[in-house]
Amino acid sequence: MDSSGEYIKLRFPLLPKKRNERLTRQDWEQALLVQPMAKIPDILVPGCGPRGIPPRLHFGWVLDDDGNRLLDIAREKKIEPRDQREVKLLPKDDSDDEDIYEGPSVKMNELWLKQDALSAVGKELQLICEPYLDQVCCPGKRTVKIVGLIDNYSLKSQVVGRADIPKLVDYFNFDVGPLWFLDSYRWTWNID
């Protein structure tokens, strides 16, 4: 039962596996099929359910273009890429034929630029919450990037600014309100 008194039928991975049961490839495939939820069941809010650490869920919207619109926003707002550290090559060891690159990757720099653009949008819209990017499970698409407002671990100390939702819907032309999505990295319970 969730906080509104409605019953929501849950199964793995939103419920924990039996103790000492190993995760399998089929479990991951099951996680990719978890439907986004309009409301979060209490059992998935840390400290409200059984002993253990529930999977992470994010409240937000899917970015259909993998966040590429945020790169356009960064260009429009003239947001500069973050300073890159000096590229370092680690010395070869005897087992390798090539030097190893140590530093931010092109993908990481792109992710930071998208996040910086999203932060600029948040400031422009004067949002209460700071929106963030994350990767989640999404049926039919496997994993996708989302604009998130809050995760289930922050619910005890933070609230979603209800006024933020229509501002973001209008800005990004989202078709629906935000939903709870299963994180693609921390998608399973951790039981003591």
**Residue 88: beta bridge partners?**
102
pLDDT for 22 equals 85
What's phi and psi for 61, nearest 5 deg? -125, 145
C-alpha to C-alpha distance for 80 and 74, rounded to whole angstroms = 8
169's tokens: 């819907």
pLDDT for 191 equals 67
pLDDT for 3 equals 46
pLDDT for 91 equals 58
Crossing angle of helices 106-124 and 68-76, in 10° steps, is 60
pLDDT for 150 equals 94
Count of CB atoms situated within 10 Å of the CB of 184: 20
Q: Are 137 and 32 in contact (CB under 8 A)?
A: yes
Task: Flag residues of the chain having pLDDT under 50.
Answer: 1-3, 86-87
Buried/exposed code over 42-65 (b: 16+ C-beta within 10 A; e: otherwise):
ebbbeeebeeebbbbbbbbbbbee
Locate the domains of the chain by residue range: 25-182
Q: Catalogue the E-assigned strands of the chain.
A: 57-62, 88-90, 100-102, 132-138, 142-151, 179-182
